Amino acid sequence: MKRHTWQRDAVRSALDTSETFVSAQELHAALRESGTSIGLATVYRALADLAVEGEADSLQQEGESLYRACTPGSHHHHLICRNCGLTVEIEADEVEQWAADVARKHGFSDPQHVVDVFGLCANCASA
């Protein structure tokens, strides 16, 4: 059975309001600030659940897991600013084609891939 608790919903909507990747601690602090009393461990667990279910993207940075709301059900990639964490969801037909081709060439079937592109966003590059 899927656990749909209010804590999970609170974490999900806090994540929705952020355009950048955030850590569990940051999200926890934001929730507390808005008057939601929720434990840090619960935030960790909810984020991990959301990531497993494809409703959040996770990313490892300097040993810490960062999360961002992700559009579920549609395959896409991310363009991530390595300075401020701004994330843009992108579709890339060339990547889909390349992944299918390279898998076939090596005799692999049912290929899947994760491709995120890191760089500096226009704001950070001009700062």
Nearest to 115, CA basis, from 80, 83, 81, 73:
80
Residues 28-57 touching Zn ion, rule: CB under 5 A, are 57
Residue with tokens 């619960």: 42
Q: Does 16 bind Zn ion (CB under 5 A)?
A: no
- Closer of 41 and 115 to Zn ion (Cβ): 115
- Closer of 15 and 121 to Zn ion (Cβ): 121
CA atoms within 13 A on the CB side of 109: 0
Phi/psi at 30 (nearest 5 deg)? -65, -40
Q: Does 124 bind Zn ion (CB under 5 A)?
A: yes
- Closer of 31 and 81 to Zn ion (Cβ): 81
Give the whole-angstrom CA distance, residue 56 versus residue 68: 5
Residues 92-111 touching Zn ion, rule: CB under 5 A, are 95
Structure letter (DSSP) for residue 110: S
Q: Does 70 bind Zn ion (CB under 5 A)?
A: yes
- Contacting Zn ion (CB under 5 A), which of 16, 89, 101, 116? 89
- Contacting Zn ion (CB under 5 A), which of 7, 18, 83, 103? 83
Nearest to 15, CA basis, from 72, 56, 60:
56
Positions in the binding site for Zn ion (CB under 5 A): 57, 70, 81, 83-84, 86, 89, 95, 121, 124
